[in-house]
Amino acid sequence: MNLRPVSNFLFLCLILLVTSCSQKPVFKEYNTVAKIGDQKEWAAKNWNDSNWSKSKPRLIGGEVYWSRTPIDILKAPEPLHPYAIRPYIYGEYEVYWDGVLIGKNGNPGQEETLNPEGEMLATFIIPPDLTEKGQHMLAIRTSVYHFPDHVGMKVDIANYDDLLTKRLIETSYMHIFAGAFLIASIYFLFLFLGNKKEYRMLIFSICCFLFFILNLAEFITTYTPIHYMHHRIRLEIIGALMFGISFLIPLYFSLQFPYPKRKIILILYAVILLFTFFVKHDFFNFTYRNMALSMWVFSLGIVIFGVYRKIKGAGLILLTLLLSMLVTFVTRFSIGIIVSFSIILLGMFYLLSLRIKEQRLAYETSLVQSTRLRLELLKKNIQPHFLMNTLTSLIDWIEEAPKKGVLFIEALAKEFDIFNQIENKTMIPVAQEIELCRRHLEIMKYRKEINYFWQEENIDMEQKIPPGILHTLLENGITHSLPLEDNSIKFKLAYEANNDYKCYTFLTFATCARQEITSREDGTGLKYIKARLTESYHEYWDFTSKPVHHGWKNTIKIYA
């Protein structure tokens, strides 16, 4: 388990190594100038462009503009390894090198009439005979019919082979990530389906899946030609995915590291995130960054609170958050965001593994506990106090009044019979439990020669309760009570239910046997009741047991 941070770090190093190999530059690129209009001569190497604008042209839509970039080649290419150009430009364009047309991506100026053509990432080889050492001119003739306000003038120039392979390598590494997270997503979805209460697993599964799609969407341009017209769809998808992930990760941490007023704070966070999502929505990178930052800051807050509260795993998550921030600082945004999400998701993965371990331990404990409770229920029958006193009385009845002795045996047989039926159950119908109590009273009548009365009020016989809990209350009532003046003790079971809870009230009408009433908190009987309630209702129950003027009052509340 301790190796996880180390392996994270190694993986990160690998990514950095792959993405940051740079070579000694063989070009020098000067400032690009642009002009709206369309003249074939503008492609020429020596055209006087001193009056051209250095800023991006403001287009209305459909018109052609030219951009010119002087480039110095510092070192001629090696034979058979030509240089190439990759423009990062929205629109359809033609590329001229020293006045020579070297490539075409769509039909600039004719977008309105012709079908969309071309792709986002086009690469053009510069003819080797035009790449001798010295000054050159790159001229691009572009039209942006669909998104005239998105003018791009950036170009990438490099060795043709490198230009093609570098991005492919990057993409393949990123897709390894994507695949891993797809599998994690499916795995945790199955885990969630197996235990529908584990929302953390569901959230993690969705996170992994969104992350998988995000990864695909981010790098799809490498191998799928997309016309710039459709590029917005991709950006919108990435935005939506970022929004989802940015909300789910802090939500996950909120469940893992609880803090006060969670709901209100989460709603507030969602509002902030929505605001970030919609304000300046068209500046995609800006939106992505802000959402990622909000996510990071909020998560950091939660995790720091978790560390403060000394919740298990919070320290490691804090480390992964800091590490992810470091990564986004040292790498390109598109890669940084993926790597840092990966690191955070790995941290969440670790938390889930802790959670699964906890569950396993809890399950093992509960098995032991259930067995223990079952034994305790069984023991009620054979514990010496009950059994030997019963047998002694029984012998006496048989010796003194054999007919009554037989009735006594029958009552005993009935109680044993019910115990046999419920012995291995965790829940039984309340009717059965009441029957058990009535049989027990019958036995006690013979033993103690007190008139015991049983009364019920408003009982829903269909309801189920853990076995032996009313019986335990009855036993306590018998043991700790002295009869009233008419030699009677009355027990009453009342039931009420509403939308919030079900409540059983068990009353004893008797004289209390103890002069000073001490708390029965530590009695094994009450421990048994509490353990049974926990077994069946987890923490959604309430049990009180206290003296009242007529004897004793017990209430068992079970919350919906």
Partner 1 sequence: MNILIVEDESRIAKRIERMTRAIYGNTLQSLKHINTLHEALSFIENNSLDLVLLDLNLNGDNGFDLLTTAVSGSFHTIIISAYKEQAITAFEYGVLDFVPKPFNKERLEQAFNRIIKKEKVIINTVKFLAVKKRNRVQLISVKDILYIKGAGAYTELFLSDGKKELHDKSLEKLEQLLAKSFERIHKSYLVKMSEVKEIIIKSGSKYIAELNNGTAIPIGRTKYKDIKTKWF
Residues lying near partner 1 in the complex (CB under 8 A): 384-385, 387-389, 391-397, 446-450, 476, 479-482, 513-515, 523
**DSSP character at residue 454:** E
Of the candidates 447, 315, 431, which has an alpha carbon nearest to the alpha carbon of residue 392? Answer: 447
CB of 478 to partner 1, least distance (A): 9
Structure tokens at 411: 């009552």
Residues 170 and 554: their CA atoms lie apart, in Å, by 69
Residues 63 and 146: their CA atoms lie apart, in Å, by 11
| Distance between first and last Cα of the chain | 39
CB closer to partner 1, 200 vs 490:
490
Residues 83 and 79: their CA atoms lie apart, in Å, by 10
Of the candidates 142, 132, 32, 127, which has an alpha carbon nearest to the alpha carbon of residue 85? Answer: 127
CB closer to partner 1, 118 vs 525:
525
Q: For 125-143, b where at least 16 C-beta lie within 10 A, e where not — what string?
A: ebeeebbeeeebbbbbbbb
Angle at which helices 262-278 and 228-256 cross, to 10°: 170
CB of 415 to partner 1, least distance (A): 17
Structure tokens at 52: 């051209």
CB of 386 to partner 1, least distance (A): 8
3-state secondary structure at position 498:
coil
- What letter represents residue 513's amino acid? A
CB of 521 to partner 1, least distance (A): 13
Residues 166 and 26: their CA atoms lie apart, in Å, by 17
CB closer to partner 1, 396 vs 542:
396
Residues 249 and 204: their CA atoms lie apart, in Å, by 8
CB of 397 to partner 1, least distance (A): 7
CB closer to partner 1, 129 vs 400:
400
CB closer to partner 1, 522 vs 539:
522
- What letter represents residue 84's amino acid? A
CB atoms under 10 Å from CB of 340, counted, come to 23
CB closer to partner 1, 172 vs 392:
392
Residues 111 and 174: their CA atoms lie apart, in Å, by 34
CB of 518 to partner 1, least distance (A): 10
CB closer to partner 1, 101 vs 450:
450
CB of 480 to partner 1, least distance (A): 5
Handedness of CA 193, 194, 195, 199 (dihedral sign): negative
CA atoms within 13 A on the CB side of 475: 18
CB closer to partner 1, 384 vs 402:
384
CB closer to partner 1, 45 vs 448:
448
Q: 464-465 and 33-36 as β-strands: parallel, antiparallel, unpaired?
A: unpaired
CB of 268 to partner 1, least distance (A): 55
CB of 523 to partner 1, least distance (A): 8
CB closer to partner 1, 177 vs 509:
509
Residues 271 and 258: their CA atoms lie apart, in Å, by 20
Q: Nearest 5°: phi and psi at 505?
A: -115, 125
CB of 493 to partner 1, least distance (A): 21
Structure tokens at 508: 């004893």
CB closer to partner 1, 324 vs 390:
390
Q: For 99-122, b where at least 16 C-beta lie within 10 A, e where not — what string?
A: beebbbbbbbbebeeeeeebebbb
CB closer to partner 1, 78 vs 399:
399
CB of 263 to partner 1, least distance (A): 47
CB of 546 to partner 1, least distance (A): 16
Radius of gyration of the chain from its Cα atoms, rounded to whole angstroms = 39
Q: For 169-202, b where at least 16 C-beta lie within 10 A, e where not — what string?
A: ebbebbbebbebbbebbeebbebbeeeeebebbb
CB of 445 to partner 1, least distance (A): 10
CB closer to partner 1, 141 vs 480:
480
Contact (CB, 8 A) for 492 and 457? yes
CB of 511 to partner 1, least distance (A): 10
Residues 152 and 94: their CA atoms lie apart, in Å, by 14
CB closer to partner 1, 54 vs 385:
385
Handedness of CA 331, 332, 333, 334 (dihedral sign): negative
